[in-house]
Amino acid sequence: MRSFDAIVIGAGQSGPFLAARMAEKGMKVALIERKYLGGTCVNAGCMPTKTLVASARAAYVARNAGGYGVSIVGKIGIDMAVVRKRALTVTLEARNGLISWFAGMDDVSVIYGHARFESERTIMVNGEQLTAPRIYINVGARPAIPDMPGIGDIEFLTSTSIIALDTLPRHLVVIGGSYIGLEFAQMYRRFGADVTVVERGPTLASREDDDISDAIADILRAEGIAIHTGAHRIAFKKRADGIEVAVADGIADITASHVLVATGRVPNTDDLGLDRAGVATDTRGYIIVDDKLATNIEGIWALGDCNGHGAFTHTSYNDFEIAAANLLDGEDRKLSDRILAYALYIDPPLGRVGMSEKQARASGREIMISTRPMTKVGRAKERGETKGFMKVIADAQTKQILGAAILGIEGDEAIHGFIDAMNARTTYRELKWAVPIHPTVSELIPTLLGDLKKV
């Protein structure tokens, strides 16, 4: 049995950084990864998808160049093999960067293989037993496959396998109208496929406020994407000319050439031997952690998507920061200090932080709201991209900003004005007096705050 000071299972967006920080402090660490260093973000998530989104936007800009006085002679073509290669190159650069980084780190043993708990302190990998007084789990999540009639009889794509596609589907049907599904829907529409989104719930991106969900649907419909919400009877049938997707009673069935299943993710905790260590999970398989990411078993922590407290690269990375600060820097960092922020990478993107309007209303606070359409943002007008709107919600008593959304050009960047202010725990009154740069999207933040009204 090999002994270490710490074992990290999974090389996602927490594990590698934590392993490196522990080694820096002289600890001997085993970092176990069953597939690729960098996990989902680098290999099947953020990096390849945002590279593909950039290719799709290039096609969109080229198609619309005429409106800007730029003439492009001839047909705008998409070479899916090149599109795919570009995404793969970005992924490989990041993955290889991690491989080289760890190759130069004597105190971290990178072990490729599937890790399983044998007991509270013992891990089995490649037939070898490893032990450590501290074990950090960073095993991430994978696409959930829903139990829908006929799904077992068809070939379908997931967010992982679609990244490797190097041909253009004739008609892509995306099952699931949430963050991952919508990004692929718009991307493939811009590549030239017919695209239909089928969503069981009443709105797209149903976690968002209805006005945001409606604006997202308008943006996608304007590009020719068909959207079926309230699809309560999704079923599949293999046919000679493709896959028949039955949507709901009374609505015509769709014939797809390809089906993408994007109906959420499940944590990779079912094949980890957690029961042998006695580590508790919730009913959906997420590892239960306390405010410092500790599980119910002393000496075992869970970081990243597998603890159910975030589904993003930056939340997983923040878990690393919390764990490292508490273990190595004598700090007292807590999960509950985190203000959730994220983006939806359709174009224009949605940048979000904190509470939605519906959450703020449900909290029982007295609230103030201000909204502004992107048609009233100079930068958006100059760029000819005025879809979407911005919204901020503040507490009428404390004057704290409770949440914000910017659905519009550069919304994923401009939202950081609110993210930074909220993390500084400043009130909206200070921000109102900021002098922003003209002409930007962010310059409207003080104006938006100046228009806050009690609701």
Q: List, by residue number, the catalytic residues.
A: 438
Min CB(344)–ligand FAD separation in Å: 9
Beta carbons within 8 Å of 196's beta carbon, 6+ residues apart: 171, 172, 173, 174, 225, 226, 227, 228, 245, 254, 256
Min CB(366)–ligand FAD separation in Å: 33
227-243: burial string, b at 16+ Cβ within 10 Å, e else: bbbebeebebeeeeebb
CA distances from 58 to 44, 76, 86, 144, 412 (A): 21, 10, 13, 31, 18
When the beta carbons of 45 and 348 are compared against ligand FAD, the nearer one is 45
Which residues of the chain form contacts with ligand FAD (CB under 6 A)?
A: 9-14, 32-36, 39-41, 44-46, 49-50, 114-115, 138-141, 159, 180, 268, 272, 304-306, 311-314, 316, 345
When the beta carbons of 64 and 129 are compared against ligand FAD, the nearer one is 129
When the beta carbons of 137 and 393 are compared against ligand FAD, the nearer one is 137
Alpha carbons 247 and 253: distance in angstroms, whole number = 6
Min CB(245)–ligand FAD separation in Å: 21
When the beta carbons of 151 and 340 are compared against ligand FAD, the nearer one is 340
Nearest Cα to Cα of residue 346 among 144, 79, 87, 50: 50
Alpha carbons 342 and 208: distance in angstroms, whole number = 12
Q: Which two tokens stand for residue 112?
A: 């490729």
User: What is the SS3 assignment for 228?
Assistant: strand
Residue nearest ligand FAD, Cβ-based:
140
Q: Angle, to 10 degrees, between the axis of helix 80-103 and the axis of helix 15-24?
A: 20
Min CB(300)–ligand FAD separation in Å: 14
Min CB(312)–ligand FAD separation in Å: 3
Q: Are the beta carbons of 444 and 372 closer than 8 angstroms?
A: yes
When the beta carbons of 135 and 448 are compared against ligand FAD, the nearer one is 135
